[in-house]
Chain A
């Protein structure tokens, strides 16, 4: 079965430190990859997406992610986090354009002063 695995359920980090949130997917076919952020009691906001082309994708709020086909990974990174980045982050994959999204379990990023 196709699946998305976010390897860390919680990531605590100090303000201004770099962070990496890991995401792996299972697939033998082409995929479309997304990272969403969810603040408490809110819907999901798109951070960035990979559809094709350059494997390094830059998104909003200083986040970026790199698509690695050989490792079936799409890890999210930010060189220096802020308190306001504290939120739940979801990695998602779609196996056809405009198709259903399969979500990972989510990673809770907690930025401490």
Chain B
């Protein structure tokens, strides 16, 4: 069964509005979660690393004020796209670092969220 869930699975919004995407680790605690962005027919681009109880670490070129990440609990991280514009339209995927044997060594991915900004 699924280890990581995302909500919503798809969202359409108007330009200038903000959108929040949730990433939940089901039945497992995940101190670290990752947020990726994927354009059509391309690979995943890491946006940021989210650690529970601390500030996220953003990759070079990712605007931290535009993509707000909050990791308030061991099972939930959120990504908020603020003042969204059409160029923010993409497939956003989160992952949780989970070690089923007690060692966190593998990322398990959520099903993704398709964001379309009109």
Contacts and interface: CB of A to CB of B under 8 A. Distances in A.
Interface in B88-118: 91, 93, 95, 97, 99, 103-112, 114
Interface residues of A, number: 20
A100 B46 contact: yes
A106 B43 contact: yes
B93 A97 contact: no
A86 B112 CA distance: 19
Contacts, number: 50
Contacts of B110: 43
B34 interface: yes
B75 interface: no
Describe A's contact surface by its main secondary structure: loop
Interface string A58-76: 0000000000000000000
A44 B97 contact: no
7 contacts: A41-B112, A43-B110, A43-B112, A46-B106, A49-B106, A51-B105, A106-B43
A90 B43 contact: yes
A42 B112 CA distance: 6
Nearest to A96: B105
B46 to A, nearest CB: 6
Interface of A: 32, 34, 36, 41-46, 49, 51, 90, 97-98, 100-101, 103-106
A43 B110 CA distance: 6
Contacts of A97: 103-105
A34 B109 contact: no
B49 interface: yes
